[in-house]
Structure 1
Amino acid sequence: MNVLVIFTHPNHHSLSYAFLQQVVEGSSENPRISEIQVLDLYAEGFNPVLVFDKQKRRRDMHADPALAKYREQIRWADKIVLVYPIWWGRPPAMLLGYIDQMFASGFAYRDKGGLLPEGLLKGKSAVCVSTMKGPAGYPLLWLHNAHKVLMKRALFGFVGIRKVKFFEFGNMESPKGNQEAKLAKIRRYFSAVAG
């Protein structure tokens, strides 16, 4: 199994970065995982800004040569892992900009003329590892599960990825946030995950 980890946080001294390290270390211990690639969007200098004009049209985004290496990473991956904080009830703008550009028509899905498109990334799985300052129940109780709906239905389901696992860790800025136990949970999960 090939694992692509997409990390989205500007600070390598953050708790999100500690979760990234646990994903990588756990994956390295897993005999089912043959290779791991990490894409650090901030360190990469990824440009999340969409630009459409006479030279650069939205319908051609699936073939944009500037994004070719990122498309190849997604093609290569059997499992896509996203590690990010939840800010204002959703992933960071940097990650959303990556999603806007990478999960494009002609690459991640194809319109069939009906209500739903054909997902072109079938057979892959995804894991979202996210942290937040607020309590773990906040997205469900206050935001009607908007984060999971966005990621599972509006993104992954749309492109054909049906198997999606979430780790939403709340109270992460609290001294009682059980950070070490949650980091260990992530390492255990990735050291044993089968698909």
Structure 2
Amino acid sequence: MNLLVIYTHPNHRSLSFSFLQKVIQGSGENPLIQEVQVLDLYEEGFDPVLVFNEQKRRRDMHIDPRLEKYRNQITWADKIVFVYPIWWGRPPAMLLGYIDQMFASDFAYRDKKGLLPEGLLAGKSVVCISSMKGPTHYPLFWLNNAHKILMKRALFQFVGMKKVKFFEFGNMESPKGRHEEKLEKVYRYFRGMAQ
């Protein structure tokens, strides 16, 4: 199994970075995982801004040479792991900009007759590891589960990725946030993950 880990946080002293380290540590101890690639969007200097004009058309995004490296990473991966904070009830703009460009028509999906497209990333699975300042159940009860619906239904299932696992941790700026317990949970999951 090949793992692509997409890390989105500007600070390497953050709790998100600690979660990233646990993903790497657990994956390194899992004999079923052959290789792990980490894409740190901030460190990479990824440009999240979409530009469309007479020279750069949206329908050509799937062949944009500037994005070829990232398309190759997604194609290579069996499982894609996203590590990010939840800001204002959703992933950071940097990650959303990556998604806008990478999950493009004729790469991630193909339009066909009917309501839903053909998902071209079928067979891949996803893990989302997110943390937030607010209580754990805040997105469920206050935001109608908008974060998970956005990621699972509006994105991953649309492009054919049916198997999605969430670790959504709340109270992460509180001294009572049980950080070590949650970090250990992520480590154990990746150490024992079967597929």
Q: Is TM more than 0.5 here?
A: yes
Output one character per residue of 1:1-29: Cα deviation in whole Å (capped at 9) or x when no partner: 00000000000000000000000100000
Output one character per residue of 1:19-67: Cα deviation in whole Å (capped at 9) or x when no partner: 0000010000000000000000000000000000000000000000000
Structure 1 CA distance for aligned equivalents of residues 159 and 175 of structure 2:
39
Partner of 2:40: 40
Structure 1 CA distance for aligned equivalents of residues 97 and 26 of structure 2:
28
- Residue correspondence of structure 1 range 12-161 to structure 2 within 5 A: 12-161=12-161
Q: CA deviation at 1:114?
A: 1.5
Q: Which amino acid aligns with 2:38?
A: V
Structure 1 CA distance for aligned equivalents of residues 114 and 11 of structure 2:
43
Structure 1 CA distance for aligned equivalents of residues 181 and 194 of structure 2:
22
Structure 1 CA distance for aligned equivalents of residues 22 and 154 of structure 2:
28
Structure 2 CA distance for aligned equivalents of residues 49 and 161 of structure 1:
25
Q: Which amino acid aligns with 1:67?
A: L
Of all paired residues, the percent bearing the same amino acid is 76
**Which runs of structure 1 show a deviation greater than 2 angstroms over 4 or more consecutive aligned residues?**
none
Structure 2 CA distance for aligned equivalents of residues 26 and 44 of structure 1:
24
Q: CA deviation at 1:76?
A: 0.2
Structure 1's unaligned 5+ residue stretches are: none
Partner of 1:183: 183
SS for the counterpart of 1:159 is: coil
RMSD of aligned Cα (Å): 0.3
Q: TM-score, normalised by structure 1?
A: 1.00
Partner of 1:172: 172
Structure 1 CA distance for aligned equivalents of residues 41 and 80 of structure 2:
14
SS for the counterpart of 2:47 is: coil
SS for the counterpart of 2:89 is: coil
